[in-house]
């Protein structure tokens, strides 16, 4: 089998342990099987997600990324193959499935549409209450997760519907964080927000990861955002994993990314153009600061010569 | 004559009990020329969408005067004359599709205006062709992708043959390909039909394609000019909770580090050229 880059060298950037927390084994999912609408959404996927890593899944609409992540906390079950959480098949029994729902938290797209309680505090407390925790523990978790997303005590009694768009989104994410999942999965967490709102959400996710050491999986269209935050990128196309590796490894394969209908980060595009023009610059760069220092180094080199 | 003309308009949503009212639009004046392409930027809550709702009489200013095609939006008898000529495309395509078959959905607007069926047929075919969805005419909209659904929503607006279309964060839910397709349609409409375009967006690279950028903050216009003038003011843009295209950021940092390079560059190609000329 042809293995994608980065599959086995994932101990790089900031990963403390090499143990997989989630293993996706030979996963295939077919919708409406046996009907004229039969459609294979993901096909024979193998992927290990390591403890504490930040993995970004990227792909255009219809590439199978949402289908993939819905398997990870047992919302849908595989047509073929299995999902292992800490080595155990999550679909083995009702109890393993129930435990998985607490250990793997899934934040849907536009989660603010799912706020429903009368106060922000009650909304965030809903998940931990369902876990059967005692009152003090629930209180601790609600306070901590609201702190992580930057909503102070003054918001506890507010109606979630009176918050701004960005605040609503953060309150909804806090609701999942309060279950203290070992794996936090977020589907398009920054979609539709302004640049400031995006920065805040990204910061909140980083904060949760630092405090809890949790594994983070995000699904996004935004290459630049994925690259600046994730340890590894998993690029999907036509229900399969097309590219897997560190951002540098993935961006080194620019042509394949564009063939998959995805956009390279603007910074990378500029560096590729400069290289074509004959400047000796690295092309796998995706951060503004890195591009600037590479360009300044070039200038310095020239002046010195 | 301007297509849209706002004279010192202010607007406040009705206050809920026990809460204080705050101005959402605070003395906004501008004029949008026929056939132009204007982008409106501003962080969430800056008043962009509230402003857009004034364009087709969904909202009426509390004070000041709003004119669309020379008609005062306060004139209730003429609301329909404005709405026939200006179309709005919103963020979520799922909220804009009403029928179970693509072509029926696109026909909804002209049917309501009471056009004869041959005319409706002609308009629907033309609109689907413009957005490149003619092959999907008898498909079910809910089985299409987000980008395809948004193209159907745009076709529904086009079938009204509007003189002006307002895109209110119409690309926010789309993937890069869906966004590119939408921008391509916008450029085509402007070029082929001279449609006046107003684009409300959070994506700076989209705003950079407009003729003019208006930036709103706390209900006021704080910047107004050609994209390259507006985005050259990197610090001001950032202080408003917005950002500049990544290429402009690189150039800005290079300039601060002492490289002699003009900041008025927006597209990836322009930025690469400017950097090459400055460093090579």
Chain segment A249-271, per-residue pLDDT in tens: 998 898 899 888 888 999 999 99
What ipTM did this prediction achieve? 0.81
A277: chain B residues, CB-CB within 8 Å: 272, 276, 280
- Report the distance separating Cα B154 and Cα B128, nearest Å: 9
Task: Give me the pLDDT at residue B193, please.
Answer: 93
* Cβ–Cβ below 8 Å for B43 and A195: yes
* CATH numbers and ranges of domains, chain B: 2-244 (3.40.50.300)
Neighbours of B22 (CB within 10 A): 11
Please say whether the beta carbons of B96 and B89 come within 8 A. yes
Question: pTM score, two decimals?
Answer: 0.83
Task: Give me the pLDDT at residue A267, please.
Answer: 93
What is the phi/psi pair of residue A82, to 5°? -150, 165
- CA angle in degrees (0–180, nearest 5) for B101-B139-B109: 35
CA distances A247 to A43, A217, B145, Å, are: 24, 15, 27
For chain B, which residues score pLDDT lower than 50? none
Task: Give me the pLDDT at residue B39, please.
Answer: 97
Does A20-264 carry CATH code 2.60.120.310? no
- Report the distance separating Cα B164 and Cα B158, nearest Å: 10
- Report the distance separating Cα A280 and Cα A32, nearest Å: 52
Identify from A110, A270, A305 which residue to disrupt to test chain B contact, counting B C-beta atoms within 10 A and taking the largest count: A270
Domain with CATH 3.40.50.300 in chain A: 20-264
**Residues contacting A163, CB < 8 A, separation 6+:** A120, A155, A171
Task: Give me the pLDDT at residue A3, please.
Answer: 44
- Report the distance separating Cα A170 and Cα B44, nearest Å: 14
A289: chain B residues, CB-CB within 8 Å: 253
Q: Which of residues 28-87 of B touch A (CB under 8 A)?
A: 42-45
pLDDT in tens, A185-229: 999 999 888 888 899 999 999 999 999 999 999 998 888 889 989
């Amino acid at each position: 089998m042809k293995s994608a880059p980065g599959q086995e060298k994932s101990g790089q950037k900031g990963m403390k342990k090499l143990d997989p927390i989630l293993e996706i084994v030979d996963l295939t999912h077919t919708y409406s099987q046996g009907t004229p609408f039969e459609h294979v959404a993901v096909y024979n996927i193998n992927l290990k997600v390591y403890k504490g890593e930040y993995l970004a899944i990227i792909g255009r609409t219809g590439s199978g990324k949402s289908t993939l992540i819905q398997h990870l906390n047992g919302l849908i079950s595989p047509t073929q193959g299995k999902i292992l959480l800490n080595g155990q098949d999550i679909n083995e029994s009702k109890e393993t499935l129930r435990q998985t729902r607490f250990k793997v938290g899934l934040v849907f797209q536009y989660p603010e549409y799912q706020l429903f309680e009368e106060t922000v505090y009650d909304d965030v407390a809903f998940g931990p209450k369902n876990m059967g925790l005692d009152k003090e523990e629930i209180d601790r978790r609600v306070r901590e997760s609201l702190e992580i997303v930057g909503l102070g005590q003054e918001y506890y009694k507010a109606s979630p519907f009176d918050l701004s768009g960005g605040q609503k989104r953060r309150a909804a994410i806090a609701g999942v964080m309060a279950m203290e999942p070992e794996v936090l999965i977020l589907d398009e967490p920054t979609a539709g927000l302004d640049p400031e709102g995006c920065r805040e959400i990204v910061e909140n996710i980083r904060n949760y990861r630092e405090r809890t050491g949790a594994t983070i999986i995000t699904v996004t269209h935004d290459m630049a955002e994925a690259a600046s935050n994730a340890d590894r990128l998993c690029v999907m196309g036509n229900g399969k994993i097309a590219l897997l590796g560190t951002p540098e490894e993935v961006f080194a394969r620019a042509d394949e990314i564009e063939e998959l209908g995805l956009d390279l980060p603007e910074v990378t595009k500029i560096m590729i153009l400069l290289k074509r023009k004959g400047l000796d610059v690295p092309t796998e760069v995706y951060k503004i600061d890195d591009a600037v220092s590479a360009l300044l180094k070039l200038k310095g080199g020239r002046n010195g010569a | 004559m301007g297509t849209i003309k706002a004279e010192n308009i202010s607007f406040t949503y009705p206050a809920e009990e026990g809460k204080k009212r705050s101005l959402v639009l605070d003395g906004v004046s501008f004029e949008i020329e026929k056939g132009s392409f204007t982008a409106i930027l501003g962080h969430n809550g800056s008043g962009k969408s509230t402003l857009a709702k004034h364009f087709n009489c969904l909202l009426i200013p509390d004070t000041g005067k709003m004119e669309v095609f020379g008609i005062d939006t306060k004139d209730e008898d003429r609301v329909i004359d404005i709405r026939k000529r200006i179309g709005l495309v919103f963020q979520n395509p799922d909220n804009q599709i009403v029928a179970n078959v693509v072509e029926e959905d696109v026909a909804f607007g002209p049917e309501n205006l009471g056009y004869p069926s041959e005319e409706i047929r002609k308009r629907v075919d033309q609109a689907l062709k413009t957005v490149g969805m003619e092959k999907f005419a008898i498909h079910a909209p809910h089985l299409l992708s987000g980008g395809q659904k948004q193209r159907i929503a745009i076709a529904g607006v086009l079938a009204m043959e509007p003189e002006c279309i307002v895109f209110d964060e119409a690309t926010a839910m789309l993937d890069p390909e869906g966004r590119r397709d939408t921008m391509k349609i916008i450029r085509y409409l402007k070029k082929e039909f001279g449609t006046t375009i107003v684009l409300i967006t959070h994506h700076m690279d989209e705003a950079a394609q407009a003729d003019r950028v208006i930036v709103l903050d706390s209900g006021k216009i704080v910047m107004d000019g050609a994209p390259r003038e507006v985005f050259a003011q990197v610090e001001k843009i950032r202080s408003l909770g917005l950002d500049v295209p990544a290429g402009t950021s690189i150039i800005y940092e290079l300039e601060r580090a002492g490289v002699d390079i003009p900041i008025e560059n927006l597209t990836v190609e322009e930025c690469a050229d400017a950097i090459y000329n400055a460093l090579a």
